[in-house]
Amino acid sequence: MLRDYGLSAGHEAAGADPHYAHQLWPYDHAGGTTALPTDVITIEEDIFLHVMINQGLGNVVRTEIWTSSDDGESWQPTGAQFDAGLHDGFAQLWTWARDDDGWVYVFSTGFQRDKGIILRRVREDRITDPGAYVGWGWRDGQWNWGNPPTPVLERQPSAEKFGEMCLRKIQNKWVLVNFDASTIGGYDIDLRILDTPTDDLYLVPKTTPLRGSAWNEEGGDKIAQLYGPSIIPGSTLDAGLHLLVSQWKTADGWPYRAMHFKVPVG
């Protein structure tokens, strides 16, 4: 996990052993239980990690927020839990970023890649209070905060299948990258540059810096079985946007890794 302080920081594994990435905290894996992180945010000296609790991959039973005050060496639950069915299941897989005014903006979707994306926000000092999150929604002919969240991008047949996402504010722009799991005109990493989190995402230009491919066709911007883009701290829009992109050859179990790419913007 890279702390959001720049490319010069975070050059060690999270957890007690800086030289090897062990499981962050102990839990019982019986019955296929697994805790999958979706995104991390640093507020002052505390790190907050949003996690999906799965009972079998893709069967999310709840999500939680954990925290670390010692740069990721140890982790504790904050007590914040969110039901997997919250907002009709659109609030399972999160990405979040802080604005300068103290609001934290959250884009989220389901973990089944069959839903659109919703937007919420919360004050940074109430990030562990599930009741403090407010939705961005359409009601009475207009969009407003405080309404039940309405999808800001819909999942349509033969269109984008939204997977892992990453939102960051960079040089007064909001950068949103996501994995499109669709095999019809998609299967790639998409990039959008927003002026504000509430921009109409149907009108924001979308670029595709990285594309999926078969295993014998990799090269250039083509990556086999890609997923999970994350923006690397220290990235800029004018000198290079750096992404970590995951790859997993599920048929063999390896490669199972994340790779660093510098991608064009615009």
CB-count burial class (<10 Å; 0-12, 13-18, 19+) for 29: exposed
* Residue 253, both tokens: 């179990």
Judge whether residue 7 has pLDDT over 80: no
Q: Kindly state the average pLDDT of the residues 73-79.
A: 95
Q: Answer with the residue of higher pLDDT: 184 or 125.
A: 125
Nearest to 231 by CA among 96, 123, 74: 96
At 44, the pLDDT band (50, 70, 90 cuts) reads: very high
3-state secondary structure of 125: helix
Least confident range of 28-32, 109-113, 184-188, 216-220: 184-188
Q: Does this model's pTM top 0.85? A: yes
Compute how many other C-beta atoms are within 10 angstroms of the C-beta atom of residue 183: 10
Q: Kindly state the average pLDDT of the residues 131-146.
A: 97
Q: Kindly state the average pLDDT of the residues 183-212.
A: 93
| Per-residue pLDDT reduced to its tens digit, 229-252 | 999 999 999 988 999 999 999 999
Percent of the chain with pLDDT over 90: 79
| Per-residue pLDDT reduced to its tens digit, 220-235 | 999 999 999 999 999 9
Domain boundaries, the chain: 1-155, 166-266
* Cα-trace Rg, the chain: 18
Judge whether residue 10 has pLDDT over 60: no
pLDDT for the residue 157: 54
| Per-residue pLDDT reduced to its tens digit, 153-176 | 986 655 778 999 999 999 999 999
Percent of the chain with pLDDT over 70: 94
Which DSSP state fits 122? E
Distance between CA 41 and CA 159 in Å, rounded? 30
Average pLDDT, the chain: 91
The angle at the Cα of 138, spanning 135 to 140, to the nearest 5 degrees, equals 125
Distance between CA 148 and CA 132 in Å, rounded? 13
At 1, the pLDDT band (50, 70, 90 cuts) reads: very low
| Per-residue pLDDT reduced to its tens digit, 99-124 | 999 999 999 999 999 999 999 999 99
